Amino acid sequence: MLGAPPAYGDEGETSQAESTQTTQTTQTDVADASTITIDQSTAVVSSTSGYHLVATVTNRTEQDLPAGTLTVSTNAAYTFVSRTDIQDWADGQANIPTPNELGTVQVPTLAIGESATVSLDVDSAQTALSSIATWGPKPLRITYQTQESTEFLHTFLTRSSDGLSMQQTPAMGLTVAMPLTSDQWQTDDEAIDDLISGDIDGADDEETASAARDKAAQAVVTLGTEDSKAVKAREQAFANHPMLQIVADPSYLNAVQMPPQVAGITQPGTFDITDYAAYDDADAYTQAGVSTDQWNAQAAQALYRTALGDENASAATYAWQGERDWSAQALNQAAQQGYDTVIATASFDQDETDTVHTGTYTVHTNAGDVTVLSEQRELGKLAKGQALSETTTAETTDAGLLARFMAQSAFYQMEQPYTSRNLLVTLDADADAEWINQLMSAVEQASWLSLTDLSTMAAAEAYDELDMDQVGNSDQSATDALAGTLATLGATRSDITRLRTAILDDADTTDGNDSGSRSRESTSADEWIAMLLSAHDIMALHALGAADGSAARTQMTEGLQLLSNTLYDSVTITPSESVTVVSESAQMPVTVSNTLPYAVRVRVSSLTDSMQIVTSRIADVTVPAKGEEQVTFTIRVSTSGSATATIALQDRDGNAFGATQNTPITSVLRISDMSGFVIIGFAVLLGALGLWRQFHRKKDANA
């Protein structure tokens, strides 16, 4: 099927020199001038589809452009012979004539910065289209010409085998998968406030009350605004294309009202297993609130059942690649946690082969065999909206990317038309419904492609079997950002446990609030703390599933700091007025308020900035739930003057927390007892003695 480009008739005679000159003129004379972009094009041309194009021309020069024409042409007989050949055409470097004109459309005069959108509809019976006798990608040139300049845009027209009288070859397997998760997770401040206040809707029995508390903890993480808007549109796209393999984060399914049907589930929160393996410190993750019990395959299944409300529900589990490449250690961790199949980017396949191959590998890890499904490099980039080079100017729009995707996939099938292969392509998690519909609709119409599911690809014969020492390891050093995130999460979790062990009153096991609901009355302080820890750990999980510096990681870490700060700010010292002391001792009252749903038992410390005006040092106080209590410090003075007492809260271990308060103290000391007169008399006696000595000094004989 493959061979040298065919010879052309008189209509197509264009020498290489002429073609090269034309390309050079394009690059030099109209560089940074007008710009052609493809808004719509027919991705797969069949015997009845015809060809439809919508393009926009923008004047980027510094002067008005006169009216011009937009001409679309192809080469009906051309067959691309190599990957270099097809890439050179996309880059505008290939010497391929396009003698078969599809049509011409007029472009109006364009003022500086002005754009014009034009469309071209070509009937299937048109000579240029009907003369295409072989299926596959064809070069398509869009020419914009005015009296002053000419610009070309190189893209592709891909003909299906529909209606062609030629032998059919087996279709190439293609699996299109998409992770259903979010990179915009946000915290629900209202849900956090409800947790802190203990205002949780409950039930009559402890089992359902426990479920209500679990639900309340999960509610602290919610979808971002943009994700929430896109949910319904994407769900319709999923329903329209059932062969799109949706691999859902079960916590995402738990966050939407109507979970869509999925092909499988991934690790909760899309927890980054590659980061976990690189950091190589399980204790640091546990202290941060994320143990393997939260993200293993068993946890994923449990969360999936909760999302569906079906205790018997089950789904295939796939570990989705994180920010790093899959290392041998990361694959071993995935296997240990119950994931025997993982999704990998094209970076897993380090070897460049002459032709594309099935992206299924088997890796023998210490924890068992892992099936790695590796994405095909070029098709994967295009599916994610990435041009294959910086100079492929047609690949700046969805339509241009799609035209290249279909041409590239057809070329891969033509390389080895009788070899069975199954390629993997993944979409970005934020792919919108419009792109999903465009890509899947085009693939579904492609006669050279056969859509397969993930389970079929996983069961395919492995392209290669690897031991752990054969798996490429990229830079596995932990980033400073990851270390900082773990330290923050560890500190906020420690704050919650400290609240229970050193601040809450051990004797308090109920709310004590007469207006409390049934669930709050039956919830002990330990259960409340457990609920707070559960909420913390859910947020920590999502933080560690997001990329360094991402909005989601920032949202989660800031939300946890807010949780910690709000808890500790719930126990406060009420600001007191200044104190005036008119004797050697006085009393200074201090009021402590507690808005938590449980009583606290803390210490209040007082320290002045004066040696002559001091207070007693420590006072213990128990403050009821959502109440206040007063303690009294004794002030002692030895002289008139002023000082400032700094009042602070401490837990029972003597560690300070919360905001301090400053209370001014003014001493106006008055003598009012016998000891004062004795002191005055003694001072008078000393003064008299001094005067006597002054008048009775003996003169020095040597003076």
**What gap in Å lies between CA 6 and CA 133, rounded to an integer?**
13
Beta strand ranges found along 411-567 (DSSP E): 422-426, 449-451, 464-467
Structure confidence at residue 135 (pLDDT): 95
**What gap in Å lies between CA 496 and CA 494, rounded to an integer?**
5
> What's the pTM?
0.86
Give the pLDDT confidence of 159-175 residue by residue, as tens digits. 999 999 887 889 999 99
**What gap in Å lies between CA 540 and CA 534, rounded to an integer?**
10
Question: Which residues neighbour 62 within 8 Å (Cβ) at sequence distance 6 or greater?
Answer: 112
Measured CA angle at 559 (ends 555, 561), to 5 deg: 125
- Straight-line distance from the first to the last Cα atom of the chain, in angstroms, rounded to the nearest whole number: 135
Task: Report whether 185 contacts 555 (CB < 8 A).
Answer: yes
Nearest Cα to Cα of residue 346 among 357, 354, 338, 332? 357
The low-confidence residues of the chain, meaning pLDDT below 70, are 1-34, 201-210, 351-352, 473-478, 508-523, 670-703
Q: CA separation (Å) from 631 to 108, 592, 621?
A: 85, 8, 7
Ordered alpha helix ranges (H), 309-450:
328-336, 377-383, 398-415, 433-445
Give the pLDDT confidence of 195-232 residue by residue, as tens digits. 998 877 654 556 666 677 788 899 999 998 777 778 88
Task: Report whether 217 contacts 195 (CB < 8 A).
Answer: yes
Residue 254 structure tokens = 């738990």
Task: Report whether 402 contacts 410 (CB < 8 A).
Answer: no
Question: Which residues neighbour 603 within 8 Å (Cβ) at sequence distance 6 or greater?
Answer: 618, 619, 620, 621, 649, 650, 651, 652, 654
CB-side exposure of 534: number of CA atoms within 13 Å? 17
| Sheet of strand 68-74, all strands in order from the earlier edge strand to the far edge | 100-107, 68-74, 136-145, 150-159
Residue 80 structure tokens = 């691309």
Q: Alpha-carbon Rg of the chain, whole angstroms?
A: 38
Q: φ, ψ for residue 120 (rounded to 5)?
A: -135, 125
Q: Which amino acid is at 272?
A: D
Nearest Cα to Cα of residue 499 among 464, 467, 532? 532
Residue listed under structure tokens 């995935």: 334
Residue 238 structure tokens = 């999923």
Structure confidence at residue 28 (pLDDT): 32
Structure confidence at residue 595 (pLDDT): 96
Q: CA separation (Å) from 563 to 190, 221, 259, 601, 649?
A: 11, 13, 29, 20, 19
Burial class (CB in 10 A: 0-12, 13-18, 19+), 97: buried
Give kind and range of the element (H or E) at residue 433: helix 433-445
Structural domains in the chain, sorted by start: 10-168 (2.60.40.10), 175-185+225-389+416-470 (3.20.110.20), 186-222+479-569 (no CATH), 572-667 (2.60.40.2310)
Beta strand ranges found along 289-407 (DSSP E): 319-320, 341-344, 360-365, 368-374
CA dihedral 267, 268, 269, 271 (to 10 degrees): -40
Residue 260 structure tokens = 């869509």
Task: Report whether 274 contacts 330 (CB < 8 A).
Answer: yes
**What gap in Å lies between CA 432 and CA 394, rounded to an integer?**
21
